[in-house]
Amino acid sequence: MNTAVAAHCPYCALQCGMTLTPREPGALVGPRDFPVNEGALCQKGWTAASLLDTPDRLREPLVRRRRGEPLRPAGWDEALDLVAGRIRELQDRHGPDAVAVFGGGGLTNEKAYLLGKFARVALRTSQIDYNGRFCMSSAAAAGTRAFGLDRGLPFPVTDLRDADVIMLVGANVAETMPPLVRHLRRARDRGGLIVVDPRRTATAEQAALHLAPRPGTDLALALGMLHAVVAGGHLRRDYADARTTGLAQAWRIAARWRPEEAERVTGVAGACLRDAVELLAGARNAYLLTGRGTEQHSSGVDTVSGWINLALALGLPGRAGSGYGCLTGQGNGQGGREHGQKADQLPGYRRLDDEAARRHVAAVWGVAPEELPAAGRSAYELLDALGAGTGPRALLVFGSNPVVSAPRAGHVARRLAALDLLVVADTVPSETARLADVVLPVTQWAEEDGTMTNLEGRVLLRRRALSPPQGTRTDLTVLRELAVRLGQPASRFPDDPEEVFDELGRASAGGPADYAGISHRRLRAGEVLHWPCPDRRHPGTPRLFLDRFAHADGRARFVPVDHRGPAERPDPDYPLIATTGRILAHYQSGAQTRRVADLLRAAPAAYVEVHPDTARRAGLADGDRARVVSRRGTVEVEVRCVPTIRLDTVFLPFHFPGDERANLISNPALDPTSGMPEFKACAVRLAPANGERP
Give the integer Cα–Cα distance in Å for 532 and 529.
9
Question: Pick from 554, 585, 567, 675: which is nearest to 630 by CA?
Answer: 567
* Choice among 16-25, 120-129, 309-318, 414-423 with the minimum mean pLDDT: 16-25
| In-domain check, residue 106 | yes
Would strands 682-688 and 625-629 be described as parallel, antiparallel, or unpaired? antiparallel
| In-domain check, residue 408 | yes
pLDDT value, residue 382: 98
* Helix, strand, coil tally for the chain in percent (to 5): 35, 20, 45
pLDDT tens for each residue of 446-455:
999 999 999 9
Number of domains making up the chain: 4
Same domain assignment for residues 287 and 424: no
pLDDT value, residue 292: 95
Same domain assignment for residues 479 and 596: no
In terms of C-beta density within 10 A (0-12 exposed, 13-18 middle, 19 or more buried), how is residue 205 classed?
exposed
Same domain assignment for residues 193 and 226: yes
pLDDT value, residue 487: 98
Same domain assignment for residues 158 and 130: no
Q: What is the DSSP letter of 371?
A: G
pLDDT value, residue 691: 67
pLDDT at 692 over 60: no
pLDDT at 102 over 50: yes
Decide: 362 and 512 in contact? Cβ < 8 Å. Answer: no
In this structure, the number of other CB atoms found within 10 A of the CB of residue 648 comes to: 15
Same domain assignment for residues 72 and 40: no
- Share of residues in the chain with pLDDT > 90 (%): 96
| In-domain check, residue 32 | yes
Same domain assignment for residues 392 and 500: yes
Question: Pick from 582, 454, 588: which is nearest to 172 by CA?
Answer: 582
Contacts of 114 (CB under 8 A, 6+ apart): 475, 476, 479, 493, 500
pLDDT at 404 over 50: yes
pLDDT value, residue 416: 97
Would strands 459-462 and 450-453 be described as parallel, antiparallel, or unpaired? antiparallel
| In-domain check, residue 548 | no
Same domain assignment for residues 352 and 257: no
Strands across the sheet containing 62-63: 72-73, 62-63, 438-441, 421-426, 394-398, 99-103, 128-130
Give the integer Cα–Cα distance in Å for 269 and 256.
17
pLDDT value, residue 693: 45
pLDDT tens for each residue of 605-661:
999 999 999 999 999 999 999 999 999 999 999 999 999 999 999 999 999 999 999
Question: Pick from 610, 126, 179: which is nearest to 382 by CA?
Answer: 126
CATH number at residue 44: 2.20.25.90
CATH number at residue 312: 3.40.228.10
Q: Give me the mean pLDDT over the 551-560 stretch.
A: 98
- Share of residues in the chain with pLDDT > 70 (%): 99
pLDDT tens for each residue of 489-539:
999 999 999 999 999 999 999 999 999 999 999 999 999 999 999 999 999
| In-domain check, residue 529 | no
Same domain assignment for residues 221 and 311: yes
| In-domain check, residue 144 | no
Question: Pick from 562, 556, 560, 579: which is nearest to 630 by CA?
Answer: 579
pLDDT tens for each residue of 224-278:
999 999 999 999 999 999 999 999 999 999 999 999 999 999 999 999 999 999 9
pLDDT tens for each residue of 3-44:
889 999 999 999 999 999 998 777 899 999 999 999 999 999
Same domain assignment for residues 606 and 646: yes
Same domain assignment for residues 92 and 165: no
pLDDT value, residue 66: 84
Determine the structural domain holding residue 660 and report its residue range: 576-688
- Arithmetic mean of pLDDT over the chain: 96
pLDDT band of residue 1 (cuts 50, 70, 90) is very low
| In-domain check, residue 651 | yes
| In-domain check, residue 539 | no
Same domain assignment for residues 254 and 344: no
pLDDT band of residue 115 (cuts 50, 70, 90) is very high
Q: What is the pTM of this model?
A: 0.96
pLDDT value, residue 139: 95
Angle between helices 270-282 and 218-231 (to 10 degrees): 60
- 156: three-class secondary structure by DSSP: coil
pLDDT value, residue 170: 97
Give the integer Cα–Cα distance in Å for 348 and 351.
9
**Angle value at C-alpha 460, between 458 and 462, nearest 5 degrees:** 165
CATH number at residue 592: 2.40.40.20
- 450: three-class secondary structure by DSSP: strand
CATH number at residue 391: 3.40.50.740
Give the integer Cα–Cα distance in Å for 103 and 105.
7
For residue 403, CA distances in Å to 204, 380, 517, 581, 664 come to 31, 12, 39, 17, 10
